[in-house]
Amino acid sequence: MNQVAIIAAKEVTDGLRNRWIIIVTLLMAGLALILALLGSAPTGATKISALAVTVVSLSSLSIFFVPLIALLLSYDSVVAESDRGTLMLLLAYPVARWQVIAGKFCGHFALLSLAIIVGYGAAGLTIVATGGGNWADQVWSSLAGLIGSSILLGAVFIALGLMISARARERGTAAGLAIGIWLFFALAYDLGLIGLLASDAGPMLSEQATTALLLANPADVYRLFNLTGSTETAVLSGMAGMVGGNAISPYVLLALLAGWAALPLTAACMLFKGRPL
């Protein structure tokens, strides 16, 4: 059995055993169900499907929720093993350092994927069951896109968490850095961007520059993907005007998210390779 798969399987077992991920899955499902059941109430006259409303609401929430869960999963995965004393033993086995990072990433990725698929899938099924949509609706692709892109967004922040964990010498430092990263990407970046656009320098920014600034934040890439993915969600989210006729291909946005995950993951492998024991 491949070393990466063995380590990933252990992470999954541990995640399921300590019930952490079960709690997260229930939280996600609960949140998604509340949005699906209550959030779709005002759609009667607008001719917008309940599923579209749910997708927009969920994606807006996921920008904050998914990165937070992903960071909580991974921020201490290396540094905690170092603290506990299990890291040295693990590395005494025939395992390359990059395999440790890759194994942990795959394990956390599987856990988060499970939580998102079960949690958000429950919302979709509930809408169908309550007559808010049907299997033929075009908006189903939006829900599938939401689930897929949420998993990718999670992957980005799992990788960022691993990068922190591979570098930090103490758990407290890793926790601080994780909070900092979450605040920056989920909140501060957009506030800064809005501030920039509203400032005197705003008019000087070209459309391309604004787009580039949006794409430099994985949370905004995720937002663009989900809120401009279909005409219905774009209209509902108010993003239709912003992207106008220059909508970026959803495939490019997904590739960007994947790239955003690959970059810190590579950095985590390199940092861990140089980490003294």
Contact letters (x/-) for other proteins, 135-174, by CB under 8 A?
----------------------------------------
Residue from 23, 34, 38, 89 in contact with other proteins (CB under 8 A): 89
Minimum CB distance to other proteins, residue 72 (Å): 17
Chain centroid to CA 106 = 14
What tokens does 46 get? Answer: 């607008």
Residue from 41, 45, 47, 92 in contact with other proteins (CB under 8 A): 92
Residue from 6, 61, 72, 117 in contact with other proteins (CB under 8 A): 6
Residues 193 and 198: their CA atoms lie apart, in Å, by 9
Q: Which is nearer to other proteins, 93 or 251 (CB)?
A: 93
Stretch that binds other proteins, among 12-20, 123-131, 159-167, 174-182 (CB under 8 A): 12-20
Q: Which of 77, 72, 61 is CA-nearest to residue 28? A: 61
- Residues 6 or more apart whose Cβ sits within 8 Å of residue 216: none
Residues 135 and 124: their CA atoms lie apart, in Å, by 10
Q: Which is nearer to other proteins, 81 or 220 (CB)?
A: 81
Minimum CB distance to other proteins, residue 264 (Å): 24
Could you say whether residue 276 binds other proteins (CB under 8 A)?
yes
Position 100: which residue type?
Answer: V
Minimum CB distance to other proteins, residue 28 (Å): 22
Residues 272 and 100: their CA atoms lie apart, in Å, by 9
Residues 127 and 134: their CA atoms lie apart, in Å, by 8
**Interface of this chain with other proteins, residues 13 to 42, rule: CB under 8 A:** 13-14, 17-18
Minimum CB distance to other proteins, residue 103 (Å): 10
Provide the CB-side half-sphere exposure for 264 (13 A, CA). Answer: 26
What tokens does 141 get? Answer: 């692709």
Contact letters (x/-) for other proteins, 96-125, by CB under 8 A?
x-----------------------------
Minimum CB distance to other proteins, residue 95 (Å): 6
Residues 79 and 56: their CA atoms lie apart, in Å, by 36
Residues 248 and 246: their CA atoms lie apart, in Å, by 6
Q: Which chain residues interact with other proteins by CB under 8 A? A: 1, 3, 6-7, 10, 13-14, 17-18, 84-86, 88-96, 276-277
